[in-house]
Structures are given as structure tokens and as C-alpha cells.
Amino acid sequence: MHQVTIPEAATPTNLPTQWAQVTLGQAARLAELSEEADIYDMLSVFLDLGPVEVMNLPATFVTEQVLPVLEFLKEPMPDYTAAPMPPTVTFPGAGQFDARQLLVKPNLEATSFGQATDLGGLLQDAEMPTTQKRLLALAILFYPAYYESSYDADDKNRFAEQVCSSVSVAQAIPITDFFLRNTVVSGAKSPASSSAFPSTPTSGPPASNSSSRPGTLWRWSMLWPLATKPSGASSSTSIGAH
């Protein structure tokens, strides 16, 4: 990670220097960007600012301290779905949690009834974006270990957004995809239409214009790393996914 201090900000901001350091929350926000998204929309994901705030940052700060760090976005995101499941998961500020204990019975028998019900609900939701399924799956799986308490379905959304969104994609994707593709609902094999494995299409609308699918490449119509435009160029710099 690379630390930068945004002008007039009270605390420094950590920027990823490679895809493995991108968080699950950032990946979800990238996936929500449309084909018409511009550089201000993209930078807002990593600087945690609004597009207009990004637009008004000093040019030298962005071109010298931000864009060179994020140059890895020119390359496709690695296929973390094919990576082995890591033995631990790191929740920033809370340390590491053992992931291997979850492997005992990945068919839901090792989880509580509430966890099994919520994981089954994710599998059966064909319209939920894949990035959101991963975020919620991580929350469902690790809630009891993180809080050292029983599972609380009513609190999983808050836990997902405030805590699980900070886990790196390199750790979160192999773990959540393993459970989503191996989960068995009610003792019967899940129908193909309910699969949340990103390489398997679901029935109904596409999950999203997902930035997290293997091979995603952010397009830059500008000369990297300068955010300048030729005279008469459009004010929008497209960075949508292929």
C-alpha cells in the first residue's frame, strides 16, 4: 500500500499498488461504474471523495502522487477465482481469522441455521451482483468468529459494509467463491441458475458490469499518467470495463 495525504485532509489515505491490495468494497464500487464513467468517478473509489471533489484537487497532487500509484489498473484483474483458498483472512484493525476451520463441511452443515439460510438466499438470488454476493457471503461466514458471538442475520449488512468491505479481493474472492459454488441448499444440489460462481452465468439479468470478473481491463483514453486532454477533447475520460 502507498500512503498519500490529500490536501486539506485530516488523515492520510492508503492507495493500493497492485490488484491484490484492492478491497472487496472498492471492487464492488468499481463494478457499479457505467461504461460512461470518467476518471473522476474511478479516482473517487480510491480516494473516498466525490467526483466533484476529485475534480478540484491540485493537478500536481493527482498526476504526481495518485495516478502513478494506480497505474496497475491498466492491467487486467488477476483471476482470483482460480487461486487456492488462503488459510487465514485479515480484517484490517482486527487481525487474522482462521479460514481453514470453515472447510470442514462446506455444505452448510458446519454453519448455524441462520447462516445456512442466508447463504442459500444468496445462491437463489439471480439478480444480485456477484461482488455484492461475495461481500455478504464473507459477512455471513465470519460474523461469529469476528465478534466471538452467535450469528445475527439482522446485523450482517452493517458488518458487510463497515468491516468486510475492507478485506482484500485476493483473500475474499477465493474464500467466498469456494463456499458459494460448493454450498448445498436443503441437502439437494443447487440448480445451475442459482450459482454465484462468477464463471457460471446465472439466469435472468447479468449480475453487473462487473469489474471483478477475470480479464477485466480499465480503458484509459488519456496518456498515462497525465490527466491532460488534447484541445477540443471531451470532458469525459472513459474507463469502463470491457
pLDDT tens digits, residue range 93-121?
788 887 766 654 444 455 788 888 888 88
Whether 24 and 61 share a structural domain? yes
Q: Are strands 88-91 and 95-98 parallel, antiparallel or unpaired?
A: antiparallel
Q: With pLDDT > 70 as the criterion, what percentage of the chain qualifies?
A: 70
**Do 50 and 103 sit in the same domain of this protein?**
no
Whether residue 7 is found in the same domain as residue 98: no
206 assigned to some structural domain = no
pLDDT of 29 above 70: yes
Which set of grid coordinates corresponds to residue 205? 439479468
Rounded CA separation 85/172 (Å): 9
Provide the residue range defining the domain that includes 179.
80-194
In a 3-state reduction of DSSP, which class is residue 91? strand
Q: Find where cell 490536501 sits.
A: 7
Tell whether 239 and 169 lie within a shared domain. no
Number of domains the chain contains: 2
Do 125 and 156 have their domain in common?
yes
Do 28 and 63 share a domain, yes or no? yes
pLDDT (0 to 100) of residue 148: 87
Domain membership of residue 120 (yes or no) is: yes
Residues in the chain, how many?
242
Both 64 and 22 in one domain: the answer is yes
Regarding predicted confidence, which is higher, 219 or 53? 53
pLDDT at 141 over 70: yes
- Asked whether residue 202 is assigned to any structural domain, the reply reads no
Distance between CA atoms of residues 138 and 168, nearest Å: 11
Q: Are 173 and 83 contacting, i.e. CB atoms less than 8 angstroms apart?
A: yes
* pLDDT exceeds 90 at position 164: yes
Look at residue 204 and tell me if it is in a domain. no
- Write down the mean pLDDT value for the chain: 74
| 48 in the same domain as 3 | yes
Based on the domain organization, do 99 and 155 belong to the same domain? yes
pTM for the full predicted model: 0.70
Say if residues 126 and 191 touch (Cβ distance below 8 Å): no
| Same-domain pairing of 101 and 161 | yes
Contacts 24+ apart (CB under 8 A), 43-46: 43/70, 46/13, 46/15, 46/16, 46/70
Main-chain dihedrals φ then ψ at residue 13, nearest 5 degrees:
-120, 135
Phi, psi of 106 (to 5 degrees): -75, 10
Asked whether residue 52 is domain-assigned, the answer is yes
One domain, residues 133 and 151:
yes
Gap between the terminal Cα atoms of the chain: 26
Residue holding cell 441437502?
Answer: 187
Strand pairing class (2-4; 88-91): unpaired
Q: In this structure, is residue 18 part of a structural domain?
A: yes
Do 188 and 149 belong together in one domain? yes
Q: Does a structural domain hold residue 70? A: yes
